[in-house]
Structure 1
Amino acid sequence: MSITTLEELFIHDLSDIYSAEKQITRALPKMARAATSETLIAAFNKHLEETRGQIERIQQLVDVTEGVKIKRMTCHALEGLAEEAQELIDTVEKGEVLDAGLIGAAQKVEHYEIATYGTLHAMALKLGYKDAAKLLAETLAEEKSTDEKLTQIAQAAA
Structure 2
Amino acid sequence: MGLFSKDIKTIDDLFVHTLRDIYYAENQILKALPDMVEKASDPQLREAFEQHLGETENQVRRLEKVFELHGVAPKGVNCPAIDGILEEADEISGETADNEVLDAALIASAQAVEHYEITRYGTLIAWAKELGREDCAQLLSETLAEEKNADKKLSSLAEGRINRKAA
Same fold? TM cut 0.5: yes
The partner residue of 2:49 within 37, 44, 51 is 44
Partner of 1:76: 80
Q: Shift of the alpha carbon at 1:73?
A: 1.5
Identity among equivalent positions (%) equals 48
Q: Distance in 2 between matches of 1:92 and 1:70?
A: 37
Unaligned runs of 5+ in 1: none
Q: Shift of the alpha carbon at 1:65?
A: 2.1
Unaligned runs of 5+ in 2: none
What amino acid does structure 2 have at the position aligned with 1:156?
G
Partner of 2:157: 153
CA contact (8 A) 1:6 1:123 kept: yes
Partner of 2:70: 65
Q: Distance in 1 between matches of 2:150 and 2:109?
A: 13
Q: Are 1:13 and 2:18 an aligned pair?
A: yes
Q: Shift of the alpha carbon at 1:94?
A: 4.1
Q: Shift of the alpha carbon at 1:32?
A: 1.1
Q: Report the count of equivalent residues.
A: 157
Partner of 2:93: 89
Secondary structure in 1 matching 2:41: coil
CA contact (8 A) 2:23 2:76 kept: no
CA contact (8 A) 1:21 1:55 kept: yes
Partner of 2:125: 121
Secondary structure in 2 matching 1:120: helix
What amino acid does structure 2 have at the position aligned with 1:132?
C
Partner of 2:60: 55
Moved more, 70-79 or 119-128: 70-79
Q: Distance in 2 between matches of 1:94 and 1:30?
A: 17
The partner residue of 2:40 within 19, 35, 57 is 35
CA contact (8 A) 2:22 2:76 kept: no
Q: Shift of the alpha carbon at 1:71?
A: 4.1
Q: Are 1:104 and 2:108 an aligned pair?
A: yes
> Could you report, residue by residue, the CA deviation over 1:11-32 in whole angstroms, capped at 9, with x for unpaired residues?
0000000000000001111111
CA contact (8 A) 1:113 1:143 kept: yes
Q: Distance in 1 between matches of 2:53 and 2:65?
A: 18
CA contact (8 A) 1:36 1:94 kept: no
> Could you report, residue by residue, the CA deviation over 1:69-122 in whole angstroms, capped at 9, with x for unpaired residues?
334421111111110111022110141101001100000000000000000000
> Could you report, residue by residue, the CA deviation over 1:22-56 in whole angstroms, capped at 9, with x for unpaired residues?
00001111111111000000000100000000000
Q: Distance in 2 between matches of 1:70 and 1:15?
A: 7
Q: Distance in 2 between matches of 1:70 and 1:94?
A: 41
